[in-house]
Structure 1
Amino acid sequence: MPWKELRPMSQKLEFVEKAIVPGANVSALCRDFGISRQTAHKWLRRYRDQGYLGLVEKSRRPASSPLATAEDVVVSIIELRSKHASWGPQKIAGVLARRLGPEAPSPTTVARVLRRLGKVKRRRPAARIWSVDGRPRIEVKASNDLWTIDFKGWWRALNGDKCEPLTVRDAFSRRVLAVALVPATTAAHVRRVLELLFRKHGLPSAIQSDNGSPFICSRSRGGLTVLSAWLVSLGIRIVRSRPGHPQDNGGHERMHRDLSELQLSPARSRRAQQRQCDRWMLDFNHVRPHDALGGKTPAELYRNSTRRSLSPLLPTYPPEWLTRRANKAGYVRINGDQVFVATALARQLIGLRQESELRWSARFFDVDLGMIEILPIDHAYLGGTVMETVTTVRPSERARERIPVSA
């Protein structure tokens, strides 16, 4: 008699009524009904103890739950979380410990309650950080071997205009090449100042900056931004200071301290403040002798660069490398697969070397862009779009991106 043709209660009743008949073969009935002998004897025992009501299915929930949290404790947890949305399990447990004493829940219990009630927001995984391994070391032997660039802390003119100087300095001669009060700290304004300096003084071999925008983006491949990618394309090496280490650019910070004297008597407007900055720069470069320069002024030591061209260079990669131009969104094609590299590298030529069947090394000039690993299409359609899984790999980390491909 197949089980699926009867309701569970009907099967129980029929089985019990046949099994209580004197001389009934319980083992044979078990085979006919497709149940174990343990189940059969359990039904018969309940029938003898409670009659037909004993055959009603009972809840399997345990009589007690030692690990269950008391209702009043759960209410207290929710009340504290509602009043203080930024409090985590550790802080909530600490407050309840003072209030409830030994009955207070542990931080683990608080976290479990919050998670079960949907009061915990899942954080996005930490993004990849393209950091600096150690202190930058570059040998400076002549003018334009290294320029340093940074924004000095801002102040306001008497009319309320914001004055935030962009400063550029030659590391060898200490000459301050620019103190420009730009309208905003964007890549476009910084590039405009640098283009004027390049036309006037020529191009340096390297430029050192901190890790702030618009010079560096630690979440972009190679730490490149649109501005730094443009500098690299001109053949200028990018030197990065370590995060939180202003001493890596100590000479520039010392110059900023001298420049701070202008904040003591702000001008009436930003335009007037720019004139004072120009006057300060003239005095710093041409009048004030520097002990580190043997009593000479920076202008006496500085010489313009012989590199004058502002035309971007074409990167040359070894013969075994592929060269691909990124589109306007920063994607390149590898064997028909569209892979995101970096927005900052839009329309730039990228070098790719195949390391294995689906893994590629990437470079932009001499800047290491890490490893790219392409995984097969998973054939999942999301909103009419096929999603191709692309994994980008660095020596010490992996991160997964999903790249849309036209269906």
Structure 2
Amino acid sequence: MNWKVTCTMGERTAFIEAWLSRRFTVTELCIRYGVSRKTGYKWIARFKSLGMTGLEDASRARHSQSHQTADAIVARILELKNQYPDWGPVTIRSALYRSATDRHWPAASTVGEILKAHGLVKPRKPRRKTPPQTQPLHHALGPNDVWSADFKGQFRLGNGQLCYPLTISDNYSRMLITCRGLESPKLEPSIALYQQAFREHGLPLAIRTDNGWPFAMSTLGGLTPLSIWLIKLGIYPERIAAGKPQQNGRHERMHRTLKAATASPPKEDMQAQQRAFDQFIHEYNRERPHQSLGLGVCPSDVHTASLRAYPEQLPELEYPSGYAVRKVKHGGYIKLRGEPIYTTRQLVGEYVGLEPLEFDRWQLYFGGVCLGVVDERRGRVIRPA
């Protein structure tokens, strides 16, 4: 497969070739290539004077470095690093300053460059982060506007088995929809529990979760088989920001009450633990008044079933008439003007919608969820910042 590779020189060459075709004005080309008119005319002037070679960058490096770190200081930095291998640039600079406060020591960034140049810095493996949401979190203005779901922290039962409680609640009425102890946070039992909740209470508009499995992963749009299934049901899979549990504060507060009531002492097995969960659900929904709902009001007094019934057969996704619709093929690719664009393998066999933007850019959607912007010139999907 041929991959599209872009670089600074390639962009400038493409700019000049487009200018020579006389199909575009300089202003149109500057907008298309994301440069100012001053830069565009500078490229044209260089081309007229020196040809394509005039588009290359001239070296800006100094002939000599007037502020090069003294050898004695470099030796002291390396000595400290060898003596304390776990110390980083900030700590090493602090130690240097502590040893002689009246001397001018290099900045921590310079210390880091010296360590790197001598092979004393271990490169960190980049963490793949779950992509951010493209829409703000919804406000719950009525029952079933927003549900929350999460795995309450696992704990060990009396027989040594781990219990992973999956909880679902309604953010408006505080109704605890379900609390089921699972043997692991796997996909299939999680979907089965969702189905049970949907059949009993109908479909919410959105479900808010954290960024862990099976709710999200580091794919395009954070899509997992669970979130893809929810989108096809017309449910928006919300995700809180990383490290922001307060964005799901109502659900987290319920977890504190759940833990205090059911986790201690540990039950002998999963069946006994589930009986404790079921008793808590009844008490929490029907006997325990919730202060935020009003004096003496329980969640069951406020909650009503959703008017959107659970369909046993998934409906087909529909896109507006102005969208281009593409099927995600083997490997996670779609074809756009004959060129392959990678999306995610999670969407193989599904249909995505492309909303045309300016020039050669498209907004990419799966159902009602925006996944990013397709840039035809770069041949890839640009994820939301």
Instruction: Please name the residue that 1:223 is paired with.
Output: 222
Q: Is 1:151 the counterpart of 2:151 in the alignment?
A: yes
Are 1:96 and 1:104, in contact at CA under 8 Å, matched by a contact in 2? no
Shift of 1:195: 1.7
Q: Which moved more, 1:79-88 or 1:96-105?
A: 96-105
One-letter amino acid of the counterpart of residue 305, structure 2: N
> CA 1:68/1:369 → structure 2, altered by over 3 Å: closer, same or farther?
closer
- Unaligned ranges ≥5, structure 2: 1-63
One-letter amino acid of the counterpart of residue 200, structure 1: E
Are 1:73 and 1:104, in contact at CA under 8 Å, matched by a contact in 2? no
Shift of 1:207: 1.6
- How far apart are the structure 2 equivalents of 1:126 and 1:155? 27
Q: Which string of whole-angstrom CA distances, capped at 9 and with x for unpartnered residues, describes residues 194-253 of structure 1?
A: 122223333223222233332234x43333332112101111122333444434333322
Q: Is 1:116 the counterpart of 2:117 in the alignment?
A: yes
Are 1:324 and 1:333, in contact at CA under 8 Å, matched by a contact in 2? yes
Instruction: Please name the residue that 1:88 is paired with.
Output: 88
- How far apart are the structure 1 equivalents of 2:284 and 2:360? 56
User: 1:1-400 to 2 correspondence within 5 Å?
Assistant: 67=68, 69-70=70-71, 73-99=73-99, 105-107=105-107, 109-121=110-122, 130-132=131-133, 136-142=137-143, 144-217=144-217, 219-261=218-260, 262-291=262-291, 292=293, 295-306=296-307, 307-356=309-358, 358-375=360-377, 390-394=379-383, 397=385
> CA 1:148/1:101 → structure 2, altered by over 3 Å: closer, same or farther?
closer
SS at match of 2:379: strand
Shift of 1:334: 1.7
Q: Which string of whole-angstrom CA distances, capped at 9 and with x for unpartnered residues, describes residues 26-59 of structure 1?
A: xxxxxxxxxxxxxxxxxxxxxxxxxxxxxxxxxx
> CA 1:98/1:276 → structure 2, altered by over 3 Å: closer, same or farther?
same
Shift of 1:166: 0.9
Q: Which string of whole-angstrom CA distances, capped at 9 and with x for unpartnered residues, describes residues 37-82 of structure 1?
A: xxxxxxxxxxxxxxxxxxxxxxxxx9xx984633x65444334334
- How far apart are the structure 2 equivalents of 1:267 and 1:139? 35
Q: CA RMSD in A?
A: 3.4
Shift of 1:309: 0.5
Shift of 1:367: 0.8
Q: Which string of whole-angstrom CA distances, capped at 9 and with x for unpartnered residues, describes residues 249-303 of structure 1?
A: 3332232222122123221223321221112212223333445265354345444
- When Rg is computed on C-alpha atoms for both structures, the one with the higher figure is 1
One-letter amino acid of the counterpart of residue 353, structure 2: G
TM-score computed with the length of structure 1 as normaliser: 0.67
One-letter amino acid of the counterpart of residue 224, structure 1: L
- How far apart are the structure 1 equivalents of 2:173 and 2:101? 68
Instruction: Please name the residue that 2:31 is paired with.
Output: none
- How far apart are the structure 1 equivalents of 2:223 and 2:197? 21
The structure, 1 or 2, with the larger RCO (C-alpha pairs under 8 Å, 6+ apart) is: 2
> CA 1:124/1:200 → structure 2, altered by over 3 Å: closer, same or farther?
same
Are 1:234 and 1:310, in contact at CA under 8 Å, matched by a contact in 2? no
- How far apart are the structure 1 equivalents of 2:110 and 2:289? 68
Percent identity of paired positions between Structure 1 and Structure 2: 32
> CA 1:245/1:116 → structure 2, altered by over 3 Å: closer, same or farther?
closer
Q: Which string of whole-angstrom CA distances, capped at 9 and with x for unpartnered residues, describes residues 301-352 of structure 1?
A: 4443441203222222222321112135432222222222123323221111
Matched residue pairs, number?
319
- How far apart are the structure 2 equivalents of 1:364 and 1:284? 37
Shift of 1:129: 6.2
Are 2:140 and 2:172, in contact at CA under 8 Å, matched by a contact in 1? no
SS at match of 2:267: coil
SS at match of 2:177: strand
Are 1:362 and 1:370, in contact at CA under 8 Å, matched by a contact in 2? yes
SS at match of 1:164: strand
> CA 1:359/1:124 → structure 2, altered by over 3 Å: closer, same or farther?
farther
Shift of 1:94: 2.6
SS at match of 1:264: coil
